[in-house]
Amino acid sequence: MRLAKLFQMRKFNQLSANGQNGMSVLQITKSSNAVDIWFDDIKMYLILDDGRELTVPLNWFPSLRDATHEQRNKWRFIGDGEGIHWTDLDEDILVEGLL
């Protein structure tokens, strides 16, 4: 009897975990947005709104690597920090793509 009860509980837990109990769950995940950005000669640094700090090699983005300091520093956020845009370089980077 006890074994049958354990089996029923296990089966219920498996069904619940698989969403087979008639309930659906909507999960929305949102990447963090950038709140600050700066450069040195070889890296781009980002601060995200959740406090994380991200460092990315400029070699990943040849147009940024080959740009002048003035061109690199002439950027603007896209979508409240979801991305970064450099008009002079015709470059766009999504923060989510860096994570």
For the stretch 49-92, pLDDT in tens is 999 999 999 999 999 999 999 999 999 999 999 999 999 999 99
More confident residue, 63 or 6: 63
Q: How many CB atoms lie within 10 A of CB 29?
A: 5
Whether the model pTM is above 0.75: no
Report DSSP state, residue 45. Answer: E
For the stretch 23-42, pLDDT in tens is 667 665 666 899 999 999 99
Indicate the average pLDDT of the chain: 82
CATH of domain 34-98: 3.30.2020.40
Rounded-to-integer distance, Cα 2 and Cα 87, Å: 69
Question: Among residues 67, 97, 72, which one has the least CA distance to residue 86?
Answer: 72
Report DSSP state, residue 90. Answer: T
**14 pLDDT higher than 60:** no
